[in-house]
Amino acid sequence: PSAAGGDCAPETIARKADGSWLVTLTCDITERTRYYLLSFGPLLEVLEPPDVRTWLLKHAEAVARTYAS
């Protein structure tokens, strides 16, 4: 099992022209998985599913508000 709490082994890993990495994986999106993804901060961008992107944005904004005051 991965640190995200399930079997989330990458299906593909590819280096993009801009030097970033595109990693494709399929796993159950649990609360633990969401917080695991959030822990990468600006080093990670989730492309899909849209509900996970929305959740990450909401929580990242909450963190930013905490440190902005």
The model's pLDDT over 1-60, given as tens digits with 9 standing for 90+, comes to: 444 545 677 888 899 999 888 988 888 899 998 998 999 898 889 999 999 999 999 999
Separation of alpha carbons 21 and 34, rounded Å:
20
Report whether 5 contacts 30 (CB < 8 A).
yes
pLDDT value, residue 8: 73
- Output Rg (C-alpha) for the chain, integer angstroms: 13
pLDDT value, residue 6: 56
